[in-house]
Amino acid sequence: MDTLALEATGSKKAVNGAVAVPPLVPVQAPVKRKPAKKAKKAVVFFEVEILDAKTKDKLCFLDKPHTEILTLHPIFRYPQWYPARQSIRLDPKGKSLKDEDVLQHLPVGTTATFYFRDLGAQISWVTVFLTEYTGPLVIYLMFYFRVPFIYAPKYDFTTSKHWVVHLACMCHSFHYVKRLLETLFVHRFSHGTMPLRNIFKNCTYYWGFAAWMAYYINHPLYTPPIYGEQQIRLALIVFLFCQIGNFSIHVALRNLRPPGSKTRKIPYPTKNPFTWIFLLVSCPNYTYELGSWLGFTLMTQCLPVAFFTLVGFIQMTVWAKGKHRSYLKEFRDYPPLRSPILPFVL
């Protein structure tokens, strides 16, 4: 009987005369796991202190933790300091921070100290260029038409007998009309304004040189170049070639920047052959500008024009070197063979 009972149960074991039943193992219901939460990006809150760059007086303190990325310009506004005339800097004597700079990308802690400098009254670059370029155009024409009080009274409203004088007037006028049209329809400026005080210096440079050159080229005693028509025609070809090249570069640079944007890209040659100089030069617009004035100097064989060309070359070289350095600093893959303004030379 006992044997039959054991066989019938099949799972019971006798322990000390007692029958042991194995414990039942409870079956656990599947546990629903909660979806893992996405890790939140760390938000860094900044306390911004702005001091006067000259006196070191505290001008502003921002301690509201509501900004993850803070555009640095303008941080604060006072009635007399509109955004265009504000300069925010990391160092009192350092460079102004760009509009697109943000705190996370700058070498500052969570408590940032910046320095403010008033740039003075500002004027738009479009107005600056229109003023600079209209002056030489008008002034040169005054000498060309020999308005009174410039030369002797007997030469008032007379014209020169040398055709190179008329050609020089056309080339000079063409150059500045081109600049005016480019200012209105081609150029896109990365900076909207410049200090108002600079316009007086710039106008003195452009207007003064235009008057100096025009006085001698249109003078009744002016003599044509030594090599005559051959020299004039060669100079005219150089001038026109470089004017077309300069315009082509300005259009290429315009196409790199979408309207209303401050995007900077590496300029490369396009299908236009005049842009192929980008293979060797960072600022070919200055290269073509230099060539234009060299052609004008050769055409007129006038010392004031040569001096203007030299001064302009020095200034454009300074600008070209600065822009070349900024390209190298900003773009790691910038073409290494390029020179600032003159291929393989400068």
Shared domain check, 317 and 184: yes
pLDDT over 90 for what percent of the chain?
A: 57
Chain-centroid distance, C-alpha 294 = 27
Whether 19 maps to a domain, the answer reads no
> Does pLDDT of 4 surpass 70?
no
Whether 62 maps to a domain, the answer reads yes
Render pLDDT for 293-332 as a digit per residue (tens, 0 to 9): 999 999 999 999 999 999 999 999 999 999 999 999 989 9
> Are 6 and 12 within 8 A, CB to CB?
yes
Shared domain check, 180 and 64: no
Shared domain check, 275 and 199: yes
Say how far apart CA 105 and CA 116 lie, in whole Å.
19
Say how far apart CA 246 and CA 290 lie, in whole Å.
10
Shared domain check, 168 and 88: no
Shared domain check, 240 and 141: yes
pLDDT reported for residue 162: 95
pLDDT reported for residue 33: 61
Using DSSP bridges, classify how beta strands 111-118 and 86-89 pair: parallel, antiparallel or unpaired.
antiparallel
- Lowest mean pLDDT of 65-69, 208-212, 215-219, 337-341, name the range: 65-69
Shared domain check, 147 and 90: no
Whether 308 maps to a domain, the answer reads yes
DSSP code string of 101-133: -BGGGSS--SEEEEEEEE--SEEEHHHHHHHHH
Say how far apart CA 240 and CA 64 lie, in whole Å.
59
pLDDT reported for residue 233: 97
CATH of the domain at 74: 3.10.20.90
Shared domain check, 131 and 255: yes
pLDDT category at 56 given cuts 50, 70, 90 is: confident
Residue 225 preceded by cis peptide, ω within 30:
no
One-letter amino acid of 116: F
Whether 132 maps to a domain, the answer reads yes
One-letter amino acid of 343: P
Shared domain check, 291 and 180: yes
The closest alpha carbon to 296, from 310, 284, 283, belongs to: 310
Say how far apart CA 160 and CA 142 lie, in whole Å.
13
Give the DSSP H/E element, type plus range, for residue 228. helix 228-256
What own/partner pairs with CB < 8 Å and gap ≥ 24 does 76-82 have? 76/50, 81/118, 82/122
pLDDT reported for residue 120: 80
112 DSSP β-pair partners = 48
Shared domain check, 106 and 130: no
> Does pLDDT of 261 surpass 80?
no
Shared domain check, 151 and 286: yes
How many domains are there within the chain?
2
Q: Mean per-residue pLDDT for 248-271?
A: 87
> Are 85 and 191 within 8 A, CB to CB?
no
Dihedral over Cα of 121, 125, 131, 132: its sign: positive
Whether 240 maps to a domain, the answer reads yes
> Does pLDDT of 346 surpass 60?
yes
Whether 8 maps to a domain, the answer reads no
Q: Cα dist. 9→13, 17, 19 in Å?
A: 9, 16, 10
Shared domain check, 135 and 98: no
Say how far apart CA 281 and CA 170 lie, in whole Å.
29
Render pLDDT for 198-220 as a digit per residue (tens, 0 to 9): 899 999 999 999 999 999 999 99
Whether 6 maps to a domain, the answer reads no
Render pLDDT for 161-207 as a digit per residue (tens, 0 to 9): 999 999 999 999 999 999 999 999 998 887 778 888 889 999 999 99
Provide the 10 A C-beta neighbour count for residue 258.
9
Whether 133 maps to a domain, the answer reads yes
**Considering the chain, what is the average pLDDT of its residues?**
82
Shared domain check, 145 and 161: yes
Whole domain around residue 238: which residue ranges?
Answer: 123-330
Render pLDDT for 146-156 as a digit per residue (tens, 0 to 9): 999 999 999 99
pLDDT category at 113 given cuts 50, 70, 90 is: confident
Residue 26 preceded by cis peptide, ω within 30:
no
